């Protein structure tokens, strides 16, 4: 049944991806100023602009360009960067793992913070521990990641002449250095998401803890740990998993700044540069990959419901 | 508040020399070979010098490529001056006004990489590079050599240029780091263009060892460089660092040997915050200060009312409190600019020689109002001002001050803020209704400043100027070989322009160039030629 459900969902994803492809193809072209003008910048002569536009194939009607691009996408070819002339698939292939690592580590940090603190906060409702946890969560939600990152980089440099690892260390060169360089950015990335998840975990757990079956468990004389972790948390965590899925775009959005601050050559920074340079094939390619990832993650989240709650069947 | 003559002189003063620069002591030491220099750099959009004007690309190639001529570098050269010397050219002659003959150095070898594999460079390579520069589609720098009629190679080591008309800035254009980098035809044949990093093969002092997109570039010493013994530095690690906090922390912790901003400087707003800490942590740092050639200006539709009336333009200039701009935007340190940026100290006219027009650079709102009334605008007039931020808050601050000053004399400016690409496509090329405010490219030659902005029908003639007096002088200076006479014409142009106020020039910032004391025989200057400035430098650590 689950397999059939997933297949159906994948089919439904196709029109979503088509609509997304149309949007990512059209929107960058609606921004005033185009790639040719930016390439020639301040010294262009009118004939150069037209010639370069023709050379890059940008003088053809938009529908023609779109259909041609879509045909290539269907064959697994996302085109070539207008600036570097390298295949977009190759460029994304180099950068996607870095962004994925960062995003997954960020999610891990968020979960490591959110679940235990949320549980403690709910179990010790209206105690000092609860107040502290909730205050810290609000702080975590309020503090912008770029500001926190800036402080964490600049202050140690001013105080002790030390700064965290920035610049990129490849895994093949130095595996420990590679992971170490991602820890601080992942922590910063995970804090805001962790705070939101913690608040939801607490809220859902409080709701579940008031249900009859939990009262029965208490009456049966089960220990607090068993009630919380085995009976209550499992039911409380389903909305948290949903939120986790919807937080992915936020985390990927957050990586744009974090990758820039920490000098990580990930996909988000690549996209940011591409938007500035109007590198249409790159903008289209990266966005398509991100949209596909989000569709897949949400599908995975749906599948996870059945694992978490055996009553849910597709 | 008005500027006194003394203020003007002080603010317009050319180089503000740093206390710790001691060239004579430096020269007395014996250079050492070896070491790694670490700098901050920018990720090049691609590596094709004929397809992008980006400083990111041209800085990267300044380490690896040679030109026919180059600007001299080192502690003996005052920032803001650009004396010429041979790079690939050993000598050159000018038999007549339109002919230049260059004798190339013998035994110059390409980097030992395929497909050239260290073969000898010949005159044919230079001819190929120049022709490619002039003819390849999309080269926005081609205008620099617009005067070239043909380039030939009479023999293996001789290159002959014939110009269509006299153009005395020709040698300066060839020396400019964003003019013709000499490249090999085999590389173009193999790759189709020079965009990929594999095409970075030149005859310059360093070779590109590795390029990690968005991460950095590593250069290693070219063992076959044509100047014996040079370069001294074995390795250059250039890190792409796009975040200011990260760059500042890196510099504080000793990672970078040069200041992290353009030309190895540190923005004054950062410098004033960290110089105390740096004095403790990095006491050997050297500094020198010199004006930036980038100046902002207001351009106007001088072909239309109200800006066709010179009294209105003069009133606008008188309305601007330039001292306040320096104080608030540049931490109190800046220079006033006549029509040629004060940074070009050999060509910018000193304010005390500007004559009658000098008074229009003073802050005098009362006189501005009187002139507006005389022009028929006693209550001022409304207008729009096209603007883009260029991603810098400093420019936004200055724009707001300009708006405030103009409002004070009755000119009610509505800011028409555009995205960068849209701004470049429209207002930068004079496509606007009323006014535009923004920076002018920081050129290294006065001709680039003046000709493009003031000659009729030139693309960057933003103010739509058609002044036969200026046009005649602009052509004459291009044909006047004798520098002193040419300077006099350029001074005359500036005197005339100061009276006309076709553009209202704003002050420029003063760079704080900073470098590690262990880096010897180095001196900063303007322009992209990082490689040229480091070629004879060495590390004492």
B98-131 residue pLDDT tens: 999 999 999 999 999 999 999 999 999 999 999 9
Give the best residue of B215, B248, B249 to mutate against chain A (max A CB count within 10 A).
B249
Quick check: B212 and A168 CB within 8 A? yes
What pLDDT score does B244 carry?
85
Instruction: Give one DSSP letter per residue of B135-150, joined into a string.
Output: HSTT-TTGGGGTTEEE
Find all residues with CB under 8 Å of B19, minimum gap 6, and list them: B287
A15-27 residue pLDDT tens: 888 888 888 888 8
* Per-residue confidence band for B211, with pLDDT thresholds at 50, 70 and 90: very high
Q: Which residue, A200, A197, A165, A199, is CA-closest to A184?
A: A165
Q: Which residue, B174, B65, B185, is CA-closest to B132?
A: B185
Quick check: B421 and A166 CB within 8 A? no
A97 touches chain B (CB under 8 A): no
What pLDDT score does A237 carry?
85
Q: Give me B84's structure tokens.
A: 């010429």
B279 touches chain A (CB under 8 A): no
Whether pLDDT at A248 is above 70 = yes
What pLDDT score does A45 carry?
55
The single-letter DSSP state of residue A124 is T
Quick check: A265 and B46 CB within 8 A? no
A83 touches chain B (CB under 8 A): yes
> Under DSSP, is residue A97 helix (H, G, I), strand (E, B) or coil?
helix
Segment B347-354 long-range contacts (CB within 8 Å, at least 24 positions apart):
B347/B445, B347/B446, B347/B487, B347/B490, B348/B446, B348/B494, B349/B490, B349/B491, B349/B494, B349/B495, B350/B9, B350/B12, B351/B5, B351/B8, B351/B9, B351/B12, B352/B5, B352/B8, B352/B9, B353/B491, B353/B495, B354/B494, B354/B495, B354/B498
Q: Which strands make up the sheet holding B158-163, listed edge to edge? A: B89-96, B99-104, B158-163, B148-155
B434-487 residue pLDDT tens: 999 999 888 899 998 899 899 998 878 999 999 999 999 999 999 999 999 999
Q: A250 to chain B, minimum CA–CA distance in Å?
A: 21
Q: Give me B75's structure tokens.
A: 């502690």
Q: Give me B85's structure tokens.
A: 């010397």
* Per-residue confidence band for B501, with pLDDT thresholds at 50, 70 and 90: very high
Quick check: B140 and A40 CB within 8 A? yes
Q: How far apart are CA A144 and CA A131, in angstroms?
A: 22
A158 contacts on B by Cβ (under 8 Å): 252, 274, 277
452-491 in chain B: CB under 8 A from chain A: 459-460
Q: How far apart are CA B486 and CA B67, in angstroms?
A: 26
- Mean pLDDT over B161-180 rounds to 93
A269 touches chain B (CB under 8 A): yes
What pLDDT score does A1 carry?
65
- The DSSP element (H or E) to which B40 belongs, if any, is strand B36-41
B243 touches chain A (CB under 8 A): yes
What pLDDT score does B190 carry?
96
A153 contacts on B by Cβ (under 8 Å): 243, 245-246, 249
Q: B143 to chain A, minimum CA–CA distance in Å?
A: 8
- Mean pLDDT over B138-162 rounds to 92
Question: Do A62 and A29 meet the contact criterion of CB atoms below 8 Å apart?
Answer: yes
- Mean pLDDT over A242-254 rounds to 81
A280 touches chain B (CB under 8 A): no
Measure CB to CB from residue B428 to each of A42, A55, A161 and give the nearest one.
A42
Quick check: A33 and B195 CB within 8 A? no
B165-174 residue pLDDT tens: 999 999 999 9
Measure CB to CB from residue B425 to each of A32, A162, A264 and give the nearest one.
A32
- Mean pLDDT over B330-350 rounds to 95
Find all residues with CB under 8 Å of B104, minimum gap 6, and list them: B88, B89, B90, B121, B122, B123, B126, B157, B158, B159
Q: Chains A and B: how many Cβ contacts under 8 Å?
A: 145
Segment B52-58 long-range contacts (CB within 8 Å, at least 24 positions apart):
B52/A39, B52/A83, B52/B140, B53/A40, B53/A41, B53/A42, B53/A43, B53/B140, B53/B141, B53/B178, B54/A41, B55/B178, B55/B262, B55/B528, B58/B177, B58/B178, B58/B528
* Per-residue confidence band for B235, with pLDDT thresholds at 50, 70 and 90: very high
What pLDDT score does B398 carry?
95
Quick check: B140 and A41 CB within 8 A? yes
Q: B445 to chain A, minimum CA–CA distance in Å?
A: 15
What pLDDT score does B53 carry?
76
Q: Respond yes or no on whether ipTM tops 0.90.
A: no
A273 touches chain B (CB under 8 A): yes
B241 contacts on A by Cβ (under 8 Å): 166-167, 263
The single-letter DSSP state of residue B177 is T
Most confident listed range (A186-190, A267-271, B223-227): B223-227
Q: What is the mean pLDDT of chain A?
A: 84
Angle formed at CA B360 by CA B358 and CA B362, multiple of 5 degrees? 90
What pLDDT score does B21 carry?
35
Torsional sign, CA B44, A272, A146, B388 = positive
Find all residues with CB under 8 Å of A12, minimum gap 6, and list them: none
Share of residues in chain B with pLDDT > 70 (%): 95
Give the best residue of A166, A171, A273 to mutate against chain B (max B CB count within 10 A).
A166
Measure CB to CB from residue B246 to each of A153, A276, A278 and give the nearest one.
A153
Q: Which residue has the higher pLDDT, B44 or A36?
A: B44
Q: Which residue, B18, B2, B84, B117, is CA-closest to B368?
A: B2
Question: Do B503 and B453 meet the contact criterion of CB atoms below 8 Å apart?
Answer: yes
Whether pLDDT at A298 is above 90 = no
Measure CB to CB from residue A42 to each of B214, B216, B441 and give the nearest one.
B441
Measure CB to CB from residue A270 to each of B139, B214, B274 and give the nearest one.
B214
A176-219 residue pLDDT tens: 888 888 999 999 989 888 988 999 999 999 999 999 999 999 99
Find all residues with CB under 8 Å of B478, minimum gap 6, and list them: B166, B167, B168, B169, B447, B451
Residue where the block lists tokens 């997304």? A20
Q: Do β-strands B381-387 and B216-221 pair in parallel, antiparallel, or remain unpaired?
A: unpaired
Q: Which residue has the higher pLDDT, A69 or A309?
A: A69
Quick check: B422 and A32 CB within 8 A? yes
Q: Which residue has the higher pLDDT, B194 or A3?
A: B194
Share of residues in chain B with pLDDT > 90 (%): 81
Quick check: B241 and A162 CB within 8 A? no
> Under DSSP, is residue B364 helix (H, G, I), strand (E, B) or coil?
coil
Q: Give me B402's structure tokens.
A: 């300009």
5-24 in chain B: CB under 8 A from chain A: none
Q: Give me B290's structure tokens.
A: 């010199």
> Can you say whether residue B184 is alpha, beta or left, with left for phi > 0 and alpha for psi between -120 and 50 degrees?
beta
* Per-residue confidence band for A48, with pLDDT thresholds at 50, 70 and 90: low
Cα–Cα distances (Å) from B183 to B116, B199, B420, B485, in that order, read 10, 9, 32, 36
Whether pLDDT at B316 is above 50 = yes
- Mean pLDDT over A75-95 rounds to 86
Whether pLDDT at B12 is above 50 = no
* Per-residue confidence band for A39, with pLDDT thresholds at 50, 70 and 90: low
Q: What is the mean pLDDT of chain B?
A: 91
A48 contacts on B by Cβ (under 8 Å): 137-140
**Omega before residue B478 within 30° of 0, cis:** no
Whether pLDDT at A257 is above 70 = yes
Quick check: B45 and A43 CB within 8 A? no
What pLDDT score does B16 carry?
42
B460 contacts on A by Cβ (under 8 Å): 42
Question: Is the whole-model pTM more than 0.90?
Answer: no
What is the number of residues in chain B?
541
What pLDDT score does A302 carry?
79
Quick check: B241 and A166 CB within 8 A? yes
B353-379 residue pLDDT tens: 999 999 999 999 999 999 999 999 999
Measure CB to CB from residue A161 to each of B212, B253, B419 and give the nearest one.
B253
Whether pLDDT at B400 is above 90 = yes
What is the number of residues in chain A?
314
Find all residues with CB under 8 Å of A59, minimum gap 6, and list them: A50, A53
A150 touches chain B (CB under 8 A): yes
DSSP collapsed to 3 states, A144-191: CHHHHHHHHHHHHHHHHCCCCCCCCCCCCCCHHHHHHHHHHHHHHHHH
Q: Which residue, B469, B495, B501, B505, is CA-closest to B311?
A: B501
Q: B337 to chain A, minimum CA–CA distance in Å?
A: 21
Angle formed at CA B411 by CA B409 and CA B413, multiple of 5 degrees? 135
The torsion defined by the Cα of A90, A96, A101 and A104, in degrees rounded to 10, comes to -150
């Amino acid at each position: 049944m689950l397999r059939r459900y997933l297949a159906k969902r994948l089919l439904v994803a196709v029109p979503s991806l088509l609509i997304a492809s149309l949007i990512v193809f059209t929107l960058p072209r609606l921004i005033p100023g185009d790639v040719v003008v930016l390439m020639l910048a301040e010294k262009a002569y009118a004939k150069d602009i037209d010639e370069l536009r023709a050379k890059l194939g940008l003088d053809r009607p938009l529908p023609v360009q779109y259909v041609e691009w879509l045909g290539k996408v269907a064959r697994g070819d996302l085109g070539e960067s207008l600036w570097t002339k390298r295949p977009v698939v190759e460029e994304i292939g180099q950068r996607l793992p870095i962004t994925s690592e960062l995003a997954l580590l960020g999610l891990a940090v968020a979960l490591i913070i959110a679940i235990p603190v949320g549980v403690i906060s709910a179990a010790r409702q209206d105690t000092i521990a609860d107040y502290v946890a909730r205050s810290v969560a609000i702080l975590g939600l309020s503090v912008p990641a770029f500001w926190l990152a800036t402080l964490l980089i600049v202050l140690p440099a001013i105080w002790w002449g030390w700064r965290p690892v920035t610049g990129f260390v490849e895994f093949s060169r130095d595996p420990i250095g590679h992971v170490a360089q991602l820890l601080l950015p992942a922590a910063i990335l995970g804090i805001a998401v962790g705070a939101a998840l913690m608040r939801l975990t607490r809220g859902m757990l409080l709701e579940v803890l008031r249900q009859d079956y939990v009262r029965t468990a208490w009456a049966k004389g089960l220990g607090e740990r068993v009630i919380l972790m085995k009976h209550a948390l499992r039911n409380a965590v389903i909305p948290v998993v949903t939120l986790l899925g919807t937080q992915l775009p936020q985390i990927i959005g957050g990586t744009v700044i974090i990758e820039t601050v920490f000098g990580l050559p990930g996909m988000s920074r690549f996209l940011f540069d591409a938007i500035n340079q109007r590198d249409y094939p790159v903008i289209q390619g990266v966005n398509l990959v991100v949209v596909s990832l989000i569709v897949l993650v949400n599908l995975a989240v749906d599948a996870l419901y059945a694992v978490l709650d055996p009553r849910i069947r597709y | 508040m008005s500027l006194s003559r003394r203020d003007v002189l002080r603010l317009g003063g050319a180089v503000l020399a740093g206390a710790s620069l001691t060239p004579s002591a430096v020269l007395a030491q014996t250079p050492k070979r070896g070491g790694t220099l670490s700098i901050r750099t920018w990720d090049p959009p691609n590596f094709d010098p004929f397809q992008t004007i980006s400083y990111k690309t041209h800085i990267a190639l300044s380490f690896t490529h040679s030109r026919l001529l180059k600007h001299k570098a080192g502690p003996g050269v005052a920032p803001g001056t650009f004396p010429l010397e041979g790079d690939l050219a050993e000598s050159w002659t000018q038999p007549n006004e339109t002919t230049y003959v260059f004798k190339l150095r013998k035994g110059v070898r390409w980097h030992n990489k395929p497909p050239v594999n260290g073969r000898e460079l010949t005159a044919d390579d230079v001819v190929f590079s120049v022709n490619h520069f002039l003819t390849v589609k999309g080269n926005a720098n081609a205008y620099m050599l617009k005067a070239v009629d043909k380039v030939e190679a009479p023999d293996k080591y001789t290159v002959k240029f014939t110009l269509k008309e006299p153009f005395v800035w020709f040698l300066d254009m060839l020396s400019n780091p964003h003019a013709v980098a000499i490249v090999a035809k085999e590389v173009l044949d193999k790759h189709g263009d020079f965009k990929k990093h594999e095409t970075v093969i030149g005859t310059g002092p360093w070779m590109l060892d590795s390029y990690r997109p968005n991460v950095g570039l590593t250069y290693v010493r070219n063992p076959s460089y044509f100047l014996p013994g040079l370069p001294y530095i074995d390795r250059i690690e250039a890190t792409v660092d796009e975040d200011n906090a990260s760059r500042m922390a890196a510099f504080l912790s000793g990672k970078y040997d040069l200041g992290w901003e353009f030309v190895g400087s540190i923005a004054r707003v950062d410098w004033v915050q960290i110089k105390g800490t740096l004095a403790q942590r990095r006491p050997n740092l050297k500094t020198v200060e010199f004006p930036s050639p980038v100046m902002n200006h207001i351009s106007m539709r001088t072909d239309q009312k109200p800006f066709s009336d010179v009294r209105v333009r003069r009133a606008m200039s008188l309305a601007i409190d330039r001292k306040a701009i320096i104080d608030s935007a540049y931490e109190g340190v800046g220079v006033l600019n006549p029509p040629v940026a004060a940074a070009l100290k050999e060509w910018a006219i000193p304010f005390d020689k500007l004559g009658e027009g000098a008074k229009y650079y003073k802050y005098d709102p009362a006189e501005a109002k009187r002139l507006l009334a005389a022009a028929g605008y006693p209550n001022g007039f409304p207008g729009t001002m096209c603007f883009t931020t260029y991603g810098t808050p400093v420019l936004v601050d200055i724009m707001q001050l300009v708006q405030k000053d103009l409002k004070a004399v009755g000119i009610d400016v509505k800011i028409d803020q555009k995205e960068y690409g849209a701004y470049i496509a429209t207002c930068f090329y004079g496509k606007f209704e009323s006014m535009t405010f923004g920076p002018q490219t920081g050129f290294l030659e006065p001709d680039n400043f003046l000709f493009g902005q003031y000659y009729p029908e030139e693309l960057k003639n933003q103010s739509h100027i058609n002044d036969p007096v200026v046009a005649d002088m602009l052509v004459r200076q291009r044909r006047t070989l004798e520098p002193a006479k040419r300077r006099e014409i350029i001074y005359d142009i500036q005197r005339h322009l100061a009276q006309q106020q076709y553009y209202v020039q704003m002050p420029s910032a003063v760079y704080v160039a900073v470098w590690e004391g262990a880096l010897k025989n180095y001196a900063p200057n303007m322009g992209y030629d990082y490689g040229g400035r480091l070629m004879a430098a060495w590390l004492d650590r």
